Structure 1
């Protein structure tokens, strides 16, 4: 099935390229699956498990950010604080609109 690419227009050529790339990916996946089966069969034939040979992958640990100390405190409600990071809370914006300055709201 030879395709004469000289007779294809731009659209037809792009379609051919896209189809070829899809087929190439399919072939790669098939080859990887066959190789995986061969490796697993070899491991089992030797009396081991996959984990024995390759170990188990430890889950990636997510670093959690330490809480940041409050930098600003709502004068009307001392329980409401803000670290100064992220979106400004409504009470902070309301205080600024009421004429307060940031330094007035420092904790």
Structure 2
């Protein structure tokens, strides 16, 4: 029984150490974020003292985690160039990796131009 108690005490000590490390990491992260907020405040105050806003100096802020290029709203439409004869709704615009259906047909000896998309009017 005492052996089990010693094992439990060791496990508790390890868990306490782990909690202390996690607490320290969170406190460091909070301090860093508070530092950022303080720096932003100081920049706002400096810009205001010179008669500007941060937005006037640097433009509008972008949402964090979002890229400015390559988003759906910035993409241009590329019309389809090739159409799968077995599944007419399956098309490819000729950009990027060749779709498997077209690669399989070409491997079977067919010419890519046979599958050129013709817009129905």
Q: State the TM bucket, normalised to the shorter chain.
A: 0.5 to 0.7
Match of 1:55 among 53, 59, 63: 59
TM-score normalised by length of structure 2 = 0.50
Q: 1:72 offset after TM fit, Å?
A: 2.4
Equivalenced residue count is 81
Q: 1:57 offset after TM fit, Å?
A: 5.9
Match of 1:29 among 16, 28, 33: 33
Name the CA distance, whole Å, in 2 between partners of 1:65 and 1:12: 57
- Counterpart of 1:9 in 2: which secondary structure? helix
- Verify: 1:72 aligned to 2:84, yes or no: yes
TM-score normalised by length of structure 1 = 0.56
Which structure exhibits the higher relative contact order, with contacts defined as CA atoms closer than 8 Å and separated by 6 or more residues?
Answer: 1
Counterparts of residues 11-26 of structure 1 (less than 5 Å): 11-26=15-30
Q: Is residue 43–residue 50 contact of structure 1 (8 Å, CA) maintained in 2?
A: yes
